[in-house]
Amino acid sequence: MAREADRAHGQWTPAIGAYLDALYAGEDGGMREAARAIEVADMPQIQIPPADGRILEVLLRLVGARRVVEIGTLGAYSTQWLARALPDDGHLWTIEVSARHAAVARDVLSRAGLGAKVTVLEGAALLVLPDLEPRGPFDAVFIDADKENYVNYAEWASAHLRPGGLVIGDNTYFFGRLAGVASRDAAEEKAISAMRAFHQLVAREFHGVVLPTLEGLTVGVRR
Ligand SMILES: C[S@@+](CC[C@H](N)C(=O)[O-])C[C@H]1O[C@@H](n2cnc3c(N)ncnc32)[C@H](O)[C@@H]1O
């Protein structure tokens, strides 16, 4: 077990984060355009940070991903980190329920030259996913949408990933509410239970771990 003094030596600081982001997590023009488009369209600025984008890219490279599904596109910011990891003949399908977000994402992707490599599918993911099944099995599924359905998305991933494929879920600390707090109302109680069911499924059916990013990034390798 690390002593208190050793732990202090290992600590992240904003300055270290900025230094490392510049070194490892450089955004390209398309990613910067996505962030700008999200802001200009007055969409919620809730895309992943660059360091998490780089984690996604490296994870996909590690498993040699070619066929990937993303749930929750927003303005195609994380989409481009995922797409960056794919070989020329790879493909990414990204699902977005909001017509406005999907339109911004399509525009961003087409301007980034990714119109052929990435397909934006519009609709609620639970309804769209069955249409993708003939394209599988997939190498990775990245979940970053409605939290109450994470467990359903992970179940779908378990059925449609190849062995060794990855399920990845963002915000899985559930904004600090996953454990150790009293739920504020019945709706939150239900939402926390749903996120816990996601973790239980990943822990049971995958080789899983939660990477300690700011929001918690769960990664499971399909058995
Ligand atoms: C956190 S944002 C995604 C951010 C994006 N992955 C990034 O990091 O650049 C969540 C997105 O999921 C979409 N969404 C919410 N519920 C959904 C559903 N049931 N099916 C598909 N997309 C959904 C929202 O409209 C929103 O654009």
In a domain, 8, yes or no: no
CATH number of the domain at 120, please.
Answer: 3.40.50.150
User: What total number of domains does the chain contain?
Assistant: 1
Query: Bridge-partner residues for 118, per DSSP?
Result: 92
Note the pLDDT of residue 8.
Answer: 58
In a domain, 118, yes or no: yes
**Cα separation of 143 and 116, whole Å?**
22
127 touches ligand 1 (CB under 6 Å): no
Note the pLDDT of residue 10.
Answer: 78
Q: Closest ligand 1 atom to the C-alpha of 101?
A: 27
57 touches ligand 1 (CB under 6 Å): no
List all residues 6 or more positions away from 182 whose beta carbon is below 8 Å from its beta carbon.
none
In a domain, 4, yes or no: no
Note the pLDDT of residue 3.
Answer: 57
Identify the helix (H) or strand (E) that includes residue 210: strand 206-211
- Ligand 1 centroid vs 9 CA: distance in angstroms? 37
Q: What is the pLDDT along the chain (223 residues), one digit of tens a residue?
A: 455 555 556 798 999 999 999 999 999 999 999 999 999 999 999 999 999 999 999 999 999 999 999 999 999 999 999 999 999 999 999 999 999 999 999 999 999 999 999 999 999 999 999 999 999 999 999 999 999 999 999 999 999 999 999 999 999 999 999 999 999 999 999 999 999 999 999 999 999 999 999 999 999 999 9
Note the pLDDT of residue 7.
Answer: 55
- Ligand 1 centroid vs 46 CA: distance in angstroms? 9
Domain that holds residue 144: 30-222
In a domain, 23, yes or no: no
In a domain, 24, yes or no: no
Q: Global pTM?
A: 0.96
In a domain, 155, yes or no: yes
Tell me if 68 sits within 8 A of 90, measured CB to CB.
yes
80 touches ligand 1 (CB under 6 Å): no
Which residue, by CA, sits nearest to atom 25 of ligand 1? 98
Question: What is the side-by-side order of every strand in the sheet holding 118-122?
Answer: 118-122, 91-96, 67-71, 138-143, 161-169, 217-222, 206-211
**Cα separation of 66 and 60, whole Å?**
9
